Amino acid sequence: MKKIQSIRGMNDLLPDQSPVWQYLEDTARQLFERYGLSEIRFPILEPTELFKRSIGEVTDIVEKEMYTFDDRNGDSITLRPEGTAGCVRACEQSGLFNQSPRLWYMGPMFRYERPQKGRLRQFHQIGAEIFGLEGPDIDAELLVMTDRLWKDLGIRDHVTLEINSLGTGEDRQRYRTALVSWLEERREALDEDSQRRLISNPLRILDSKNPEMQKLLVEAPKLSEFLGDDARIHFEQLRALLDSTGIEYTVNNRLVRGLDYYGKTVFEWVTRSLGAQGTICAGGRYDGLVEQLGGKSTPAVGFAMGVERLVLLLDAARVVPDSIGRQVDAYFVGDEALRGRILAIAEQIRGLCPELRLLTHTGSGSFKSQLKKADRSGALVALILGENEAAAGNVTVKYLREESPQTTVSVAEAAVLLQQLLSQE
Ligand code: ATP
Ligand code: MG
């Protein structure tokens, strides 16, 4: 019989990888708490209309990357390709905007893209969205917060920050006109994709990955020259704030982002360590989106990071702590006849030492083969219960990763030893 395979670009997360994911998720969760953000969870399926109206009809995502189906009612529904739209919808629906919420979320997103390293069809994002604040100070704080995350994870040296201002809607309108007429004069030199975008979404041409196009665009009119006072001052203040916090950045005039709802500040954290899929975190300001979705005008700024890319970077940079990869700290072996005692002592130790990851040997097996399993489990120590230990109410602690001699102690003392071992890390 032909075996059923997973859908292309949708990966399983196997146990050897899940500790790194948990480590990343835990680190992010703690970070968000330190900056006063609260978690929000919203559905994976939303009405298709939500994404069309927010992300924009002529973006890559809506044009060709969404998983859209009719449900049994004939209503068009879509697997969320990103989190911001659902987050805004949820806040509006629940009246949360009155409280100027600071939110974070994490979970799977879906885009029909060509799968490759760091690009999947089911991928995961960790994101943050802050509502009700219009000043550049909150833009800066989000960047400070992400900067701290890279430091906490040990990848600060592997990433750089690029920022840009997209101006207000009016600024972009004026720029769009200028850019289109400049590009129309050079229509022959444009690749197929850019010719198509010239009509549908000309600003996206700036983001072209084609080197020929990039060369051509060096001379193109710059959005920065079209910024009105509002956006220009916002951007100058953001830069001053970043300077005063010592966060280095480059201004990338061609950074436009692929979603229509952005305005004023946009940014990307980029790494050179992952090849073409170098953006690990991207975001910006989207002051118009809440209103566009039918709510009261509400300023907003946020970002999303790609978990798969971050995990690739953590591995490439070799910064995952050893203790993260280990899933067992202690492995309990002993005479088969003493299985009941072993279970009871293991429970006692778990009670005394709650962080300990303790595996008890189950089934039969010679003492030697049990110890081999203990070694293969990656545990730091083997706990041993033989007849002598059992008679004396003791347990033997055998070190598997260091030269220390084994020691036979009471169960309570063993728990203290194990606790010490864990806190040394
Ligand atoms: P890219 O230019 O790489 O396609 P994007 O501009 O489409 O990225 P966003 O929509 O801003 O990306 O999503 C934020 C982050 O989510 C990206 O910077 C990236 O880290 C991650 N991401 C986006 N699409 C994918 C994908 N298909 N697979 C894995 N990660 C992704
Ligand atoms: Mg994309």
Residue that the structure tokens 């039969």 belong to: 364
Q: Which of 317, 352, 387 is the last residue of a domain?
A: 317
Ligand nearest to the CA of 10: 1
Confirm if 186 and 216 have CB atoms less than 8 A apart: yes
- Whether residues 304 and 402 fall in one domain: no
Task: Give the distance (Å) from ligand 1 centre to CA of residue 337.
Answer: 56
Name the residue of 55, 114, 125, 308 whose CB sits within 8 Å of the most ligand 1 atoms, as the mutation to test its pocket: 125
Query: From CA 290, how far away is CA 98, in angstroms rounded?
Result: 12
> Distances from the Cα of 180 to the Cαs of 170, 213, 214, 223, 342, in angstroms?
15, 14, 16, 12, 76
The reply to whether 240 falls in a domain is yes
**Distance from chain centroid for Cα 171:** 32
Query: From CA 196, how far away is CA 59, in angstroms rounded?
Result: 12
Q: Which of 298, 317, 336 is the last residue of a domain?
A: 317
Closest residue (by CA) to atom 11 of ligand 1?
Answer: 282
Task: Give the distance (Å) from ligand 1 centre to CA of residue 172.
Answer: 23
Residue 35's CATH number: 3.30.930.10
Residues near 142 by beta carbon (within 8 Å), at least 6 away in sequence: 128, 130, 283, 301, 302, 303
- Whether residues 286 and 412 fall in one domain: no
Confirm if 300 and 89 have CB atoms less than 8 A apart: no
> Distances from the Cα of 91 to the Cαs of 51, 98, 270, in angstroms?
15, 9, 30
Domain that holds residue 400: 327-423
- Whether residues 355 and 293 fall in one domain: no
Q: Are strands 381-385 and 330-334 parallel, antiparallel or unpaired?
A: parallel
Residue 369's CATH number: 3.40.50.800
- Whether residues 81 and 156 fall in one domain: yes
The reply to whether 174 falls in a domain is no
Task: Give the distance (Å) from ligand 2 centre to CA of residue 23.
Answer: 26
The reply to whether 382 falls in a domain is yes
Task: Give the distance (Å) from ligand 2 centre to CA of residue 320.
Answer: 27
Query: From CA 32, how far away is CA 54, in angstroms rounded?
Result: 25
> Distances from the Cα of 161 to the Cαs of 272, 280, 282, 309, 424, in angstroms?
12, 10, 10, 16, 35
- Whether residues 23 and 50 fall in one domain: yes
- Whether residues 400 and 253 fall in one domain: no
The pocket around ligand 1, CB under 6 angstroms, is made up of 82, 111, 113, 118-120, 123, 125, 258, 277, 279-282, 304-306, 308-309
Task: Give the distance (Å) from ligand 1 centre to CA of residue 80.
Answer: 13
- Whether residues 57 and 130 fall in one domain: yes
- Whether residues 286 and 384 fall in one domain: no
Ligand nearest to the CA of 121: 1
Query: Closest by alpha carbon to 56, among 201, 254, 273, 206?
Result: 201
Mind listing the pLDDT tens digit of every residue in the chain (425 residues)?
Answer: 999 999 999 999 999 999 999 999 999 999 999 999 999 999 999 999 999 999 988 888 998 999 999 999 999 999 999 999 999 999 999 999 999 999 999 999 999 999 999 999 999 999 999 999 999 999 999 999 999 999 999 999 999 999 999 999 999 999 999 999 999 999 999 999 899 889 888 988 988 888 999 899 999 999 999 999 999 999 999 999 999 999 999 999 889 887 778 999 999 999 999 988 899 999 999 999 999 999 999 999 999 999 999 999 999 999 998 888 888 999 999 998 999 999 999 999 999 999 999 999 988 889 999 999 999 999 999 999 999 999 999 999 999 998 999 999 999 999 999 999 999 87
Residue 77, classified by CB atoms within 10 Å of its CB into exposed (0-12), middle (13-18) or buried (19+), is middle
Q: Which two three-digit tokens encode residue 389?
A: 């230990």
Closest residue (by CA) to atom 23 of ligand 1?
Answer: 306
Query: Closest by alpha carbon to 299, among 159, 138, 63, 61?
Result: 138
Q: How far apart are the first and last CA of the chain?
A: 49
- Whether residues 246 and 148 fall in one domain: yes
Closest residue (by CA) to atom 28 of ligand 1?
Answer: 119
